[in-house]
Amino acid sequence: MKKPIFKMFLLTALLAGLYSCNSSDEVSSKSPEASTFKIINVTTHDGRPFSTGNTKTSLTGKYVDNPGGGVMMQAFYWDVPSGGNWWNTVGTKVTAWGNAGIGSIWLPPASKAQNGAFSMGYDPTDYFDFGDYNQNGSVETRFGSKTELVNLITKAHAENMKVYADIVINHNSGGASESNPFTGTNTWTNFTGIASGKFKRTYADFYKNSFGNNDEGAFGGFPDLCHAAPNVQDWLWKRTDGVGKYYKNTMKFDGWRFDYVKGFGSWVVRDWNANVGGFSVGELWDSNVNILNDWANNANSSVFDFACYYKMNDAFDGNNLNLLTDDMMWKRNPYKAVTFVTNHDTDEIWAKELAYAYILTHEGYPTIFYRDYEEWLNKAKLNNLIWIHNNKATGNTSILYADNDEYIARRNGYNGNPGLVVYINNSTATLERWIQTNWSSKQIKDFTGNSTWYPTTQGDQWVKIQCPPKSYTVWSLNI
């Protein structure tokens, strides 16, 4: 994507007024309004206050090394149309997504599950049946055939997009009944008859067994896979022809979204990553940022920022933007935080445009939900925010102002990229505020088009910006 052409502005005292907030009169000295600039009481996670003058920096002070750092598309939703056409449907989108600046797509579980052509894949039976074996009532999966999946991955790679597989390894479903000496009953744990003939498993590979009665958690009454079992480790991540390496080296997946990681130890994802490689993110459904951060560090993996998700829900829908100053995973470690507004499991935030403005201007790895992008929201506005993320959202974060209705933050830029200032207004009136930038005597503009102002920052870097009601503006140098 081409960057805007740099323009030089020779400003004289006479011309300075032309580039003021209201395009008619420049402020020659700091307005009294600036003296009421609010200092936010933000502390580190261990309670120590920041001491950064009039602004409060993010908890890490880290930056995203390249402009934007990437945007992920969740390329499905719950109960996408059955009939085996989903891989082809997504295939028709990837070129446009790539042109819009999407850098990766997350696909649903791709292998055959118990409900065959009607399953969303979260009840896996045969990890090596991608829609090419006649089992569980169908040849194709709900999403299509193996050939169609390979074509989709190939097409995405041609658009320089990475493809992430949804990996469900906590539980299995669709096995045959067998006598289980550890339970004294029959259990549905015999997977020796799977059509691919790969990763055969029996009761010895599920809890309870010789390794114990249980691990971190079972799910939905499904047989709980035992990752301590050598056969399970071998077939999931150790063997060159096992699940992880086959998905990566043969199917050409670039990374993993691990489902329900509360159900097994973080060491499982850590060992998978060490043996297989590729990007990984865990679904750890918990709003406690300490739990998220500990898991991410122990698993050596990214994690979905549920702390951010729930804070955004309370802030935007509860009309309390002060909550956006609270602790979140992206503030602890932006390199391991995957932010999102909604997904196939949860859709609680009503003020979605404001939430997307938040995650696409802040640190972390933002995710866009398929239905938000393709069906429910304004695609042009999302494309604009993706462009802003990829081209302007660099550097660490300083929160400049927050109250019930307003939130203003600054990305401080990196390696010649000037960064940005985002202003979110959740009130019913147009608002204006003086803020301090990193730019002295520079003209700035709103890159969303929601404001027509072209203000010039003062010599001390202060400037007045505005934001329409229930909207957002994103300011940066007018170059």
Q: What is the set of active-site residues?
A: 259, 283
Query: 362-378: buried (b, 16+ CB within 10 Å) or exposed (e) per residue?
Result: bbbbbbbbbbbbbeebe
Is 170 a known ligand-binding residue? yes
Is the CB of residue 4 less than 8 Å from the CB of residue 479?
A: yes
Torsion of CA 290, 348, 312, 330, to 10 degrees: 40
DSSP string, 21-84: TTSS---SS--GGGGGPPPP--B-TTSPBP--TTSEE-SS----SSSS---EEE---TT---SS
CA distance 202 to 300: 30
78-82 own/partner pairs: CB under 8 Å, 24+ apart = 78/120, 78/344, 78/345, 79/120, 80/108, 80/120, 80/142, 80/143, 82/117, 82/118, 82/142
Please give the biggest Cα pair distance in the chain: 91
Tell which residue, 295, 221, 205, 309, has the closest CA to residue 258: 295
- 43: how many CB neighbours lie within 10 A of its CB? 13
CA distance 60 to 100: 29
CA distance 361 to 392: 8
Is the CB of residue 437 less than 8 Å from the CB of residue 425?
A: no
Is 234 a known ligand-binding residue? yes
Name the 3-class secondary structure at 189. Answer: strand
- Annotated binding-site residues for Ca(2+) read 170, 234
- Annotated binding-site residues read 170, 234
